Structure 1
């Protein structure tokens, strides 16, 4: 019978608290501050408090005043001073602090609160103060005594929003900005034009919005192609210039810069539908979908006119021009493009793309703006001063940084939030394989492949969301949050201070704030719902949940419960006979049952037994066979001679990747020696799991993401020897991870040289 104690989990939680001092559990600020100290005591905030500001901090004081009134019904007085009196309850002091732009100092004593900052620093200090407030409007409001000094690691801490595939209202965009600001995210990448819609008013070309913003209407009328990538056929709308100015001002007051994106030369179907003269012509006369702009003088004049009006609206220094997924082969059939190639001596379609981007860049430079584009703009030659957004993995960003171009890292899969957050069958429909918040948090924007000088060209990181499968704001919020909090911390906090366990603890403390703000963030998972392999005769587990008031509906027969099933409160104790495998499925609800998540796990029952082995035959360590191949096809390895056969006896028993162009595939075999009968847990620390067998029974299935489908084996092992084998792909990612770990019933990690042997 497996009786794994929850003491180990409680010890982890206690260790998390060491970083934030359990005595002041309210300190759960995201992103993690650079320096944080706490003391006993609280500042009592009531309606008598005055917010004292100077001229420079007045707008931030007004913001704080409005926040306290909206969410806590506190009507505080705001006073502007030339010199803020030291006796003022809340003081916001403009100061040129040392450190990066955005640095701030926050001091909370029993008598007053003082925030000083550089640039947006006072505002960021206010956001940290907001996370010190209780998440419910209790009276009095107690704010723990503490001191924070902080500054951002990167100056680009971004999120995108795609309003082309599905349109979002001004109020919905503002709410998105609000939550970004709470976590010190400071760049909103506003994707305003694409095949499915043109969303920005352009006075000189009114049909861009009269026609191009109504693509869903024309598709439903049969006058435009079927929008088959969209879950519901899409919705229509656009922003007037007045609305855009309003959003920009709203963002500026929250120290968020808006980066407008006007797609070109691809993803331009909505513009071409409105103005067919823009479309790439086909000399063969073939009729096909036209998404590419023809590189004609008409097109360049048109786009320069559009950008002139865009520039007049957006005060920031950057304009994003897209450049991704351009169907450049269309140009090879265009008389205009072919003539351009002859005139400019361009060798291929990639050089046409480069010519197009460089020409637009020259225009932007003439307007004192900088060009940003997706990493495809590297093809054919990179524009002279372009900033690259690296989305197709990291390669484009690394190449651009080595060329001394600024880079924003936003790579697949880590920064793509249209991907599901857990098992695809249990989550809303999305693109690409699942991306969990842990995968986001573990991402490092400054690749180890870069020198320190090259890494300095990395401006920061950005999370992206594309809305083909996201029809409304609640769904958008579900997909973006809480993953955006991981972006916030990895882009703000120092690399050395990252701690995923502490972040998880803090992240779960944010959910009452999400409730306060009416934000539909995806709920956290139930702790310890793993795929389990066990030889126990009973399955006993206590399911815990971090959010107060949550309820669970569950089944053990493989049928997913729904809202009609009986709900029970957490913690849930499960204790059932285990003769065969069973399927645990859960339906968890929170916030008056308005939010829910689904989870599933297989409890696989196996039989294992020790084997007889002569002590004299034993040799320490495992035996390894190393293969080189072009792909990870382990089935073909039986007929292949390994490039190396070796034995490892070290404390980290794994083969590291061999640095060639081929894939390093590893098979191992040996014995696990058990000296004391008892309960044991075997796990893998690989993010993408290896395949592990014990007594020829599959314990850990290979090629599974540990955050999406966590696996472990809970085994009662008698004294003796057990056959142990497996295989895995050795790569750079898992070279710093743990192949397997064996723990006893008390959670003690056993030393591999003590229990690993081979014959």
Structure 2
């Protein structure tokens, strides 16, 4: 950091000037002004390869001293610190930095300038010049200017630096004030490094100027949200019922002590694994006040409802305490702890008291139609646990295949009795492993044997109808084996979508299940299950009998949902039409029914919005609330409802960044896209007819309404049960949607574009070659028509045995749209003919998706 005084104050004062045409001109310095080490580093930087998406840390020895890419675990981060550098040195090498067009630049410079008695005002002007130059040369680059760190004379070193506290404060205040007009984001890291006396904390340095390892960990914690575009505080999901942020940080990096009460071995092991991942080589059980520790403790905490899952989490500077009424509550608190620990370094002090609104918060997978490996199922269960879902519903038998091994009847799982994924099934060991995996995560494992419907595989194996007397004897054997082998608390018996020819069938099945001490669940609407069977709603409106217990899954089938729509729908959903659970409405389940065959099991998670939906449903089922009715639209006209969605979406995307970097997560921010809608124009059945918005680039017609989002549904195929944007949609009409999008640079940008998001449960026809859909929809960017994608199987007749490949935007390559620097116009044409579907596999869902990223 300390260079020779050949760097003159004059050099620093020359630099702040703008020339004509608002272009920023940098001064030229002779190479002799810079040290040998500076030349070594600067020339080395020039020879390094250019890479896309770089995050550059620019500064002096304090920056130079860190292994940034290792610290953040991100190879995009490049260290461009040079020991001894001053602001003039940064300016001299700035063109090389700008030429790389990095994604972000983090600048920390100035203390060496001050040590040479350069005025604070000159330092600030130099930094403003740096930022203005970067803004001009690489406008898409985000520039972050960090405050100069505090110093301390305690070690009697670097006297010309450590006596500049007043000047440092003056520079920092001026940098904060100048941020907006100079195109940078100011980050105050100074205060966090101060001790009680306002000087650099002696524990973070050994010379009063430079940082020790602990100092760099603190720095990482402070910059983490800026590096990864996260909220300033950890974005917890589901949002706790009571959350109070407090001052102070808990040093998780130096914690190796877990104190756990009796009966919390499993939960203590979870915390110990977190510590080990973070570098703790051995775990002790000492709560000494001289070192940080984590305590898990069973005690009485009072909450309004569902106390068995409630917890309190308190984080202070020297300890973390999780208290709860049960081990399940402790486990829930640990999941919140995991989310607080987003940088694996420190925890922000806080006080959280939390409990769920609903006791049943489930996720169902259909493995009968499409087999999933135990490994992939565990992946989904792990995500469920992190977000506090507590029921894993395992639909394991279907017409296509029976995938549950039954020792007494091995013919059920023979390949010749399966129509898809032949020979793939779950052994006793597989099921017990899934049960164990769920149990460790306090998730209820609920198997489903669908009876008497969806039983084609059963009939193929035994050549008898399920409702026959002979089949009943077989089913009783199967129920006995399942109940005695796995001892589930619940067994789902299906009971839907079948003509009941034997009125005694379902009551007898329910009695058989219940004689083993197992609670029966059946679909509703369905057959004549017994009165004490839990109903799982899948279609009918509302609950019809307060004496019966219900689980709500209506309009929560992920296989029918567009990814962006799924988050909107589930976020605003009022589960069971009540804000919180009660004795009748236990809660809800989202369901994955992928009727259509897939090429590979991963497609189930790519083609369906599984993870965005799990997180959204976890939020709603834990928090409660929601809005009456079912909607696919963001209610942007309701300020409070829209603000709630925006805050939630920001947290959702933070979670995506944190936990889904290697997992499919088909969702992107849509809150900032505002559309003006023009219409309706009567097209008289001619969907190619053109109207004013298409003919006049200025779009002079009056705006009919505005809407927000990336996916906009004018009329849902389940209208009027599900509300779209148009209150009273008319056949043979055309609408137009118009918006403007900003681009920092000229060039091509990725964009999701689609007009008919196909259900994964219908045998829907693929759009004809050269078209977006069958309605004549179109999109123009800056007046230029955007070509529809060349689909591999364009014009193909729908077939459930023909896997989807590239039919929808979320699992095909994004469209490249050509944008100019500044504002760009987007016009969408949305004609429709009749609303009557040509068949059940091709419902009319009048919609579009347009979302640049």
Confirm or deny a common fold (TM above 0.5).
yes
1:321 aligns with 2:464: no
Q: Which residue of 1 aligns with 2:279?
A: 74
Equivalence for 1:520: 664
2:329 to 121, 137, 140: 121
Equivalent residue number for residue 295 of structure 1? 468
Q: Deviations over 1:694-723 (max 9, x none)?
A: xxxxxxxx9856xx6589xxxxxxxxxxxx
Check whether the contact 2:525–2:540 (CA below 8 A) recurs between aligned residues.
no
For residue 196 of structure 2, what is the aligned residue in structure 1? none
Q: Name the residue aligned to 1:438.
A: 568
Counterpart-to-counterpart distance in 1, 2:585 and 2:431: 29
Could you tell me which runs of 5 or more consecutive residues in structure 1 were left unpaired when the two chains were aligned.
Answer: 1-6, 8-19, 217-232, 281-292, 332-336, 338-351, 423-433, 546-550, 559-575, 588-592, 607-631, 636-701, 712-759
Secondary structure of the residue that 1:512 maps to in structure 2? helix
Alpha-carbon distance in 1 for matches of 2:421, 2:663: 23
Q: Conserved in 1, the CA contact under 8 Å of 2:559 and 2:593?
A: yes
Provide the C-alpha distance between the structure 2 equivalents of 1:34 and 1:556, rounded to a whole number of angstroms.
37
1:557/1:582 contact within 8 Å kept:
no
Query: How far apart, in 1, do the equivalents of 2:314 and 2:573 lie?
Result: 32
Post-superposition offset of 1:443: 0.9
Change in Cα spacing, 1:241 to 1:58, as seen in structure 2 (3 Å) is same
Q: 1:210 to 1:23 in 2, by over 3 A?
A: closer
Instruction: Give the match for residue 95 of structure 1.
Output: 299
In the alignment, the residues of structure 1 paired with residue 486 and residue 754 of structure 2 have an alpha-carbon distance, to the nearest angstrom, of: 57
Counterparts in 2 of 1:313 and 1:506: CA distance versus 1, 3 Å: farther
**Which residue number in structure 1 is paired with residue 750 of structure 2?**
553
| Count of aligned pairs | 486
Q: 2:537 aligns with which of 390, 399, 415?
A: 390
Deviation at 1:390, TM superposition (A): 0.3
- Aligned-pair RMSD on alpha carbons? 4.1
Which digits, 9 at most, give the CA deviation of each residue in 1:566-622, with x for residues without a partner?
xxxxxxxxxx995x57549999xxxxx99965699993499xxxxxxxxxxxxxxxx
Contact 1:32 1:489 in 2 (8 A): yes
* Distance in 1 between residues matched to 2:825 and 2:455, nearest whole Å: 47
Q: Is the 8 A contact 1:259 1:320 kept in 2?
A: yes
Partners of 1:544 and 1:323 lie apart in 2 by: 54
> Equivalent of 1:162, from 352, 366, 374?
366
String of CA shifts for 1:6-25, please: whole Å, max 9, x gaps.
x9xxxxxxxxxxxx9x9972
- SS class of match (1:200): coil
**CA shift digits 1:456-496 (9 cap, x unpaired):** 40000110001333454432333211111111111111428
Q: Say if 2:611 is the partner of 1:481.
A: yes
Tell me whether 1:502 sits opposite 2:647 in the alignment: yes
Q: Which runs of 5+ in 2 are unaligned?
A: 1-179, 181-224, 627-639, 678-692, 700-737, 756-779, 791-809, 818-823, 837-843
Is the Cα–Cα contact under 8 Å of residues 532 and 602 in structure 1 kept in the other structure? no
Give the corresponding residue for 1:618.
none
Structure 2 counterparts to residues 338-377 of structure 1, below 5 A: 352=503, 355-377=504-526
Please give the alpha-carbon distance, in whole angstroms, between the structure 2 residues aligned to 1:194 and 1:64: 40
- Provide the C-alpha distance between the structure 1 equivalents of 2:392 and 2:533, rounded to a whole number of angstroms: 19
Contact kept, 8 Å, 2:558 with 2:566, in 1: the verdict is no
Question: Equivalents in 2 of 1:465, 1:23: separation in Å?
Answer: 30
Provide the rounded CA distance (Å) in 2 between the counterparts of 1:357 and 1:171.
34
Equivalent of 1:418 in 559, 575, 578: 559
Change (3 A) 1:441 1:526: closer
Match of 1:37? Answer: 244
Structural mapping, 1:530-679, within 5 Å:
532=676, 537=698, 541-543=740-742, 552-553=749-750, 580=783, 582-583=785-786, 603-604=826-827
2:386 maps to 1:174: no
1:460 and 2:587 correspond:
yes
**Distance in structure 2 (CA, Å) of the matches to 1:557 and 1:259:** 37
Q: 1:556 to 1:383 in 2, by over 3 A?
A: closer
> Partners of 1:599 and 1:104 in 2: how far apart?
48
- Using the alignment, how far apart are the partners of 1:502 and 1:515 within structure 2? 19
Indicate whether 1:511 and 2:661 are aligned. no
The residue aligned with 2:340 is 132
- Residues in 1 aligned to 2:532 and 2:489: alpha-carbon distance in whole angstroms: 13
TM-score by length of 2: 0.51
Q: Secondary structure at the match of 2:659?
A: helix
Say which structure, 1 or 2, has more relative contact order (CA 8 Å, 6+ apart): 1
2:789, 2:815 within 8 Å by CA — same for their partners in 1? yes
Q: In the alignment, is the contact (CA less than 8 A) between 1:406 and 1:457 conserved in 2? A: yes
Give, in angstroms, the shift of residue 51 of structure 1. 2.1
Question: Cα gap change, 1:176/1:375 in structure 2, threshold over 3 Å: closer, same or farther?
Answer: same
Distance 1:95 1:215 in 2: 51
Match status 1:404 vs 2:547: yes
Larger Rg: 2
1:13 corresponds to which residue?
none
Contact 1:394/1:409 (8 A) holds in 2: no
8 Å contact kept, 2:251–2:292: no
State the partner residue of 2:258.
Answer: 51
TM-score (norm 1): 0.57
Higher strand share goes to which structure?
1
Mark the CA change 1:142 to 1:73 in structure 2 (over 3 Å): closer, same or farther: closer
Where do residues 214-363 of structure 1 align in structure 2 (5 Å cutoff)?
A: 215-216=418-419, 234=421, 236-276=423-463, 279-280=464-465, 293-296=466-469, 298-328=470-500, 331=501, 352=503, 355-363=504-512
Match of 2:268 in 1: 61
Cα–Cα, structure 1 residues 439 and 465, in superposed 2: closer, same or farther, change >3 Å? same
More divergent stretch after superposition (246-255 vs 307-316):
307-316
Which digits, 9 at most, give the CA deviation of each residue in 1:209-232, with x for residues without a partner? 2347x614xxxxxxxxxxxxxxxx
Q: d(CA) in 2 for partners of 1:389 and 1:555?
A: 35
Q: Distance in 1 between matches of 2:322 and 2:234?
A: 17
Distance 2:674 2:593 in 1: 30
